[in-house]
Chain A
Amino acid sequence: MQIIYTDVLVIGGGLAGQRAAIGAKRRGHDAIVLSLVPAKRSHSAAAQGGMQASLGNCLGGAGDNEDIHFADTVRGSDWGADQVVVRMFAHTAPKAIRELAAWGVPWNRVERGEREITVDGSRQTIAEPDAAHGLITSRNFGGTEKHRACYVSDGTGHAMLYTMSNQAIAAGIPVHERMEALALIHDSGRCHGAIVRNLMTGELLAYIARATCIATGGFGRIYRVSTNAVINEGMGAAIALETGVATLGNMEAIQFHPTGIFPAGILVTEGCRGDGGLLLDVNEHRFMPDYEPEKKELASRDVVSRRMEEHIAAGHGAKTRFGEHLWLDIRLLGADHINNKLREVKEICQYFLGIDPVRELIPVRPAQHYSMGGVRTDHRGESPQLRGLFAAGEAACWDMHGFNRLGGNSVAETVVAGMIVGDAMADFCDSVGGELSLSSALVNDFGRREQARLAAIASGGNESAFELTRLMQETMTAQVGIFRDRERLEQAVSTLQVLQLRSRDIGLRSNAPGANPELVTAYRLQRMLKLAQCVAYGALQRTESRGAHFRADYPRRDDLNWMRRTLARWPEAEAGLPTLEYEALDIMQMELPPGWRGYGARDYIEHPDTALRKQQVDEIVATVADADRHARQQALMPFRHLLPAHLRHHNQRLGDTS
């Protein structure tokens, strides 16, 4: 088995992974990126509508700052997020976007003078000021108080990923393409790299690293209907889980995006609604204001998706032979806007639906979209259980999204996390604990174990990996979807256990030399089933509704009992269930104590600490009444000292004196 040594091993070639690698490399450490596909084909490219950063340049963003971005994100998370991490994120996002602007991303810019916009179904004319001309502009997105989603037409992720990849190439960072990590090498609570399979030749290699970062994105493909790319099978999270040591956080927190095109599930951006598009039912009635008078189509994704499904269940969906759907109407935005700012949407409609959204309605229905959960890390991105193991981006749970992510916060998170975790890995490599000390026997043991697992599949029984994958996906979509209850979740847990047993008897019809796509499906399925079980079992145990996790039998958010983050471990490889533990979120430390989100259900079970903390917050604010907003924030919940030193400065905005 070939062994490759590096300082930093990054598993995953999307925005988070490449930015982390660039960060470590800048600090003088060698980094290698492993990617299932050419890095520019990573799923980051699929982000369409925008990246949240509180620049506040355009009129709709005027007055925006980190405080508002922070509050929007915490409300969006339904108070499930780690507020310190949200603060670190909101503070660093403007820096991330400015760095990308310098590196080459052609962000859309503010144009001075009058322009027409669509608000709440009607056209308005606004005038952008001269001073903002040429600065980065932003559009409206759901669950936000300001127009904060900075964008490049609706190819934002594509433009960001190409710029990031090109800068990684400029930095001389090797990307080993078509490489899949099968297992993390670890002992005594320390990660040493990974056993990796070459997806062209099928051979196994070992990558030995001082720091290892999982940046493999989400695991949407455990569902049948998902906006995710076909590579989003969660293998990074799965190999962390299979260490039996590292934990996964809040796996039951799964986001469903309101506008997957029906029935294919391909995403059309939230920017459609942010720019003024409407949701209509079978009678072309605009129904969202009936349910959500405050934010209408622009409540958070969890709320809009639930309202849509509720409306379909009430008999107002358009019926087809594939099932029911609703309509997205962007006709009112006009041909010019659609052809320039929503051109990917237009292409998707043309190619996959054969319709022109300038003139026709787009059939949509919520589809699985995002995994809030992932490898549990601290605020620097390191696993608390496995030293030297880091995670960043959608694969991680550090935990800035809690139980619902806001649109545009994920691409922002990838880059921000990459910046922070890249430095954290460099710090780790520079520390005494970052020295490598392992025996080649350990590496070979892990290599032999993976070889044996592959051999067991190749000489296995009669089950079909494709068939079992389909059954898993259907189970998840039918029983662990938007509306959950005990009965459905219990069924899902037991079905997944049966599938797990059956997956030990997978046989192969093909023994083609090389990577063998059937073998790939088989070994990934065995790992995906464990992730799926963490989702289903975690959802069964969480007897409340929070963010995207909605229990029809426990419809209220329960701060009294569930101000807790789920941590899943899988200590016994052959066990049928994960071990769940819970980690408390301390209300007494929160800058923004729990309350109503400003949309969605008003009814929740309060924790006694909430009133105490609110009073405390008021008292603290009163003592610093004359201070500026930075000092007020600092008094409530300090966070800047946790950032790398070069990311601690204030962000300048238009109109600031300094």
Chain B
Amino acid sequence: MKRIPLAQASRTLRLQVLRHNPRDPASEPHLQTFEVEEADSMTLFIALTEIRERQDPSLQFDFVCRAGICGSCGMIINGRPGLACRTLTKDLPQDIVLAPLPAFELIGDLSVNTGKWMRGMSERLETWVHNQGFARLDIDSLEQPMEPALAEQIYELERCIECGCCVAACGTARMHEDFVGAVGLNQVTRFRLDPRDERSDAEFYQLVGTEAGVFGCMTLLGCEDLCPKELPLATQIAFLRRRMVAAG
């Protein structure tokens, strides 16, 4: 029988957080439960901040923009990677389990070193426009024109915020530490699409034509399912694989 919804009494949320401080020799990974009175429009950013301020000041986590644009706060929320800052508690059950993103070095509790991983990926894949002309760039004259649709297409792929959710959601990345992940492969397609980048397919093949690159993907699609920016990651990987087969 359907019930008529009544005005809901505010809930007491139970947040179970996977705690571990690698700097503390006595620390063992364990789940710790915190109770928080739910408030209107409460996000996990608000709930975790309240826990740190009122219950346990040692709790470690990372927030920067708290608006879903900087990619700092990726964590495992009830088993799925996501951005904590824009996750509303009203969309979650009363019991919420939070864990740090796997596949990244743990700094402490929910804080992981995505920055180090992403910089490493950028250096390996050379995720920047390669152009011989930079040394004598003319910035006084009219810029080179670009087709408006192409600029929008490049931005579509550039919306990645390097949050690491796709890496945490990736079967290959969990098995092969050196897999560049959907984040890396997407960036390669972004620069391959960009006419300002003079690299050839053969050069891109050198970067990703391996098991650590585009041929490592098992097409489990976790990356695309869980990308907070809803990037078409699987399509990019499939496309890149076809191009790399042709180039290789």
Contact = CB atoms under 8 A, between A and B. Distances in A.
A649 B139 CA distance: 9
B140 A106 contact: no
B41 interface: yes
Contact of A110 (B131, B148, B159, B162): B148
Nearest to B127: A166
A169 B129 CA distance: 11
Residue from B69, B122, B152 whose CB has the most chain A CB atoms within 10 Å:
B69
B118 A40 contact: yes
Interface size bucket, A side? 35 or more
Contacts of B194: 104, 106
Contact of A344 (B59, B69, B113, B148): B69
A502 B211 CA distance: 59
A516 B196 CA distance: 45
Given A41-B71, A351-B88, A514 B23 contact: yes
A159 B158 contact: yes
Interface string A253-273: 000000000011011000000
A348 B127 contact: no
Nearest to A137: B148
A99 B152 CA distance: 19
Interface string B5-25: 000000000000000010110
B23 A38 contact: no
B144 interface: yes
A514 B139 contact: no
A468 B141 CA distance: 53
A321 B126 CA distance: 51
B94 to A, nearest CB: 20
A97 B137 CA distance: 13
Given A134-B147, A166-B122, A230-B66, A517 B52 contact: yes
B129 A347 contact: no
Contact of B60 (A41, A95, A352, A517): A517
B129 A230 contact: no
B86 A352 contact: yes
A134 B54 CA distance: 54
B148 A101 contact: no
A625 B57 CA distance: 68
Interface stretch (A184-192, A303-311, A505-513): A505-513
Contacts of B66: 229-230, 266
Nearest to A232: B64
Contacts of A120: none
Given A153-B155, A512-B24, A108 B148 contact: yes
Given A108-B148, A514-B21, A166 B128 contact: yes
A112 to B, nearest CB: 9
Contact of A43 (B58, B62, B65): B65
Main SS of the interface on chain B? loop
Contacts of B127: 166, 169
B201 to A, nearest CB: 19
B114 interface: yes
Nearest to A470: B53
B107 interface: yes
Nearest to A516: B58
Interface string A494-510: 00000000000000111
Interface string B100-131: 00000001100001111011001100111101
A445 B65 CA distance: 36
Contact of B140 (A37, A158, A651): A651
Interface string A101-145: 111101111110000000000000000000001111100000000
B68 interface: yes
A649 B141 CA distance: 10
Interface in B61-99: 62-72, 86, 88
Given A107-B151, A166-B127, A102 B21 contact: no
Contacts of B203: none
A14 to B, nearest CB: 11
Contact of B86 (A40, A230, A351, A651): A351
B64 A230 contact: yes
A38 B118 contact: yes
Contact of A37 (B115, B126, B145, B154): B115
A99 B72 contact: no
Contacts of A41: 64-65, 70-72, 115
A466 B57 contact: yes
B12 to A, nearest CB: 20
B134 A46 contact: no
A175 to B, nearest CB: 7
B126 to A, nearest CB: 7
B162 to A, nearest CB: 6
29 contacts: A38-B162, A40-B71, A41-B65, A42-B64, A42-B70, A43-B65, A43-B70, A45-B65, A45-B69, A98-B141, A99-B137, A99-B139, A101-B143, A102-B131, A102-B144, A109-B147, A133-B145, A134-B148, A135-B142, A135-B143, A153-B152, A158-B69, A162-B158, A169-B128, A178-B107, A229-B65, A230-B63, A351-B88, A510-B56
> Closest 5 A-B residue pairs measured CB to CB?
A38-B115, A134-B145, A518-B57, A514-B23, A166-B128
Interface of A: 37-43, 45-46, 55, 95-99, 101-104, 106-111, 133-137, 152-153, 155, 158-159, 162-163, 166-167, 169-170, 175, 177-178, 200-202, 229-231, 263-264, 266-267, 321-322, 340, 344, 347-348, 351-352, 354, 466, 508-510, 512-518, 521, 649-654
Given A99-B139, A104-B129, A166-B122, 14 more contacts: A37-B64, A95-B140, A96-B139, A135-B142, A137-B148, A153-B152, A155-B158, A163-B128, A169-B127, A175-B119, A340-B152, A352-B67, A512-B21, A521-B57
